[in-house]
Homo-oligomer: A and B are copies of this chain.
Amino acid sequence: MIAKSQHHWTGDVADLLRVGDGFRLADVDPRSTPGYDKDKVRAAEDLGTGALQLDEYQERLFAESRVDATDASVLLVLQAMDSAGKGGIIRHVVGSVDPQGVSLAAFKKPTPEELAHDFLWRIEQRVPEPGLIGVFDRSHYEDVLIGRVRELAPAAEIERRYGAINEFEKRLVDGGTRVVKVMLHISPDEQKRRLGERLDRPDKHWKYNPGDVDERELWPAYMAAYQTVFERTSTTWAPWHVVPADRKWYARLAVQHLLLEALEDIDPKWPVATFDVAAEKARLAAS
């Protein structure tokens, strides 16, 4: 049995982080820790407890899918400015479950073949099958974020995409997928500190891209594009969550909690045997 979450949350995290009417990104403090008043050490313990819960939920969900007892899946959509900690979420939160139950898709700059199709073409191909936790490291939202900021498509096309995204996600949800959308929100100062660390450490140089500094110039434009994304695509079926991410430990704990909630909502059970257990024991003994 999975006990209900034993975390030290002081409030409903999903409620606290969910983007609703009147949400303003500018009002969110990236160093805050909504719903959690313990420290980093306690958070690490809670993350460990949550990892065990996530692991069992995931295995149950996977088990149900193997016997065609569910069409449920989870899709975690991760968006963020550079160095906000997407990789750490994948490694430390998603990485705690069996790799056989995870489907990970990292969306880079589109290829010419991808660009020749509708922007959702490459996304559709990576939607998780029933039983899996899918993770999108960047996603279709790039097409209304960098797409808007860098004017990679005509304004009318960008406008069209918000509606297309909502319809696409509605279809996923109707098909059994819980869509968990997360923006990891860091401050420009924290990003500067993290990029500086990459420059200071030779084993981190490969993670540094000079283009990251150019993007910093566009910070206000990106924040405006995110604000529009939230206003246009935080739906009842697939709401956005803005997770303060200047403290990595908080962001990881919060995202883990959002995944746990999605799985609690699915409430997967160990499948009942579709064969006669006693008869199979006899056959096995005789084999």
A-to-B contact residues, CB < 8 Å = 63-64, 66-67, 87, 90-91, 94-95, 98-100, 102, 104, 106, 137, 192, 195-196, 199, 202-203, 205-208, 210, 213, 216-217, 270-273, 275, 277, 280-281, 283-284, 287
Contacts and interface: CB of A to CB of B under 8 A. Distances in A.
A203 B59 CA distance: 10
A217 B284 CA distance: 11
Contacts of A192: 284, 287
Copies of the polypeptide in the assembly: 2
A91 B100 contact: yes
A272 B67 contact: no
A90 B98 contact: yes
Nearest to A95: B99
A281 B199 contact: yes
A203 B268 CA distance: 12
Contact of A100 (B106, B202, B206, B216): B106
B87 A280 contact: no
